[in-house]
Amino acid sequence: MLDAGPLIALDRREPNAWSFVEIAARRKTDVIVPAPVLAQVWRGSRSAPLAIALRGINVLSMDEAVAKRAGELCAASETRDIVDATVVAMAIARGFDILTADLDDIRKLVSASARRVRVIVL
């Protein structure tokens, strides 16, 4: 599961982000992004490289249970970043690893969850 950092890196055509997506495709591993993360990063026609990358990325909607869990994580971690909280809540609910460029915020939310989530830094 990607947070905003890897999507921004894809949009900026950063090779390490593109390599990750290409390797995942070769391994037939799903690359997932929560819809709120896409909303945070998407800038319309200026996001042409990201639009290309999205062809190989599954965008997941947020359901009520994940929304509530994200809110609880914000409260428990004393953070206001609901989008990062959504990433962590969805990763927990679905058993996904998280790929991030912002280890500190994600780690704080994972710690507040008291659950094990593998966090990988891009």
Residue 81: which residues within 8 A CB-CB, separation 6 or more? Answer: 74, 105, 109
Residue 32: which residues within 8 A CB-CB, separation 6 or more? Answer: 1, 2, 57, 58, 59, 60, 90, 94, 96
Residue 102 is predicted with a pLDDT of: 87
Q: What is the CA radius of gyration of the chain?
A: 14
Compute CA distances 38 → 23, 48, 57, whole Å: 21, 13, 11
- pTM reported for the whole predicted model: 0.93
Model confidence over 90-121: pLDDT tens digits?
A: 999 999 999 999 899 999 999 999 999 999 99
Q: Enter the tokens of residue 77.
A: 């971690």
Q: Whose structure tokens read 């200026």?
A: 46
Q: Hey, what domains does the chain have and what are their CATH numbers?
A: 4-121 (3.40.50.1010)
Residue 88's nearest CA partner among 24, 52, 34 is 34
The C-alpha atoms of residue 63 and residue 19 are separated, in whole angstroms, by 30
Model confidence over 65-93: pLDDT tens digits?
A: 999 999 999 999 999 999 999 999 999 99
